Amino acid sequence: MHMQKIIVANWKMVVKKEQLVSLVEVVGQADKTNLEVALCPSFVHLTEVASLINNKNIGLGAQNCFWVEHGAYTGEVSAWDLKDEGCQYVLVGHSERRKYFSESDEIINKKLLAVLEVGLTPILCVGETKEEKDAGHTLERVREQLQKDLVNVILKDSRIIIAYEPVWAIGTGDFCKPNDAEEVQSMIKEEFTKITGVAEVAVLYGGSVDDKNVAEFLKQNSIDGVLVGGASTKVEVLGKLLANSI
């Protein structure tokens, strides 16, 4: 299995241009011997971050993409263009895209296939809402998302990373207990193998991950890394989080 732990920083619409240098610097200085680290800035900062991370052993990811190669789609950015900008990863199906932009599993599936077609690594986000959790439907909901999002996926030389992000934990400070996350992520691995026929997949945990709880998550057998939001936008916290991830 993937020996390195994967740390993905999702800067959402939070990090400003003047913060980029110091954030990349702290990641550049971190010991990444056993870490695969990717930064996901906003579209407008991709070019600058690509130049800042040069030769620093840091990956570049986008927060979203469109599924058509080119055309009259005002405001959209294609996976093909993201590849040209130097991206290696693309977040697909983040709960904020599902919630605020009404992205259905059908749309997410199209985006996932486009990302794979251009040779990038999609980071597919799945997770249940508070209502679904309280009703005891966590496993059922996440399984359903995987089944719909992974339709027609054929993996040859490419890979998919899955991020389990309980919606109720994102940005709330209310993180999932590591052993509960472990149960869901173990199911995700089994379901992924059933759907794709691929024996192994890296599964990340996301949802109020910070420098204080990251080590506990990374100790779990089925947690191969973390997708970090708010904590990755503050230089000091991000530095500590990376140090505590080794």
Active-site positions read 94, 165
Scanning 64-117, the segments in alpha helix (DSSP H) are: 79-84, 95-100, 105-117
Q: What whole-number distance in Å separates Cα of residue 10 and Cα of residue 232?
A: 7
- Kindly state the tokens that stand for 45: 């900062």
Q: What whole-number distance in Å separates Cα of residue 200 and Cα of residue 198?
A: 6
What stretches of 17-175 adopt beta strand conformation (E)? 35-40, 59-62, 89-92, 121-126, 161-164
C-alpha distances out from residue 185 to 32, 102, 103, 134, 189, Å: 24, 25, 23, 18, 6
Nearest to 49 by CA among 88, 5, 94: 88
For residues 147 and 139, the answer to whether their CB atoms sit within 8 Å is: no
C-alpha distances out from residue 79 to 41, 118, 156, Å: 15, 7, 19
- Give me the count of residues in the chain: 246
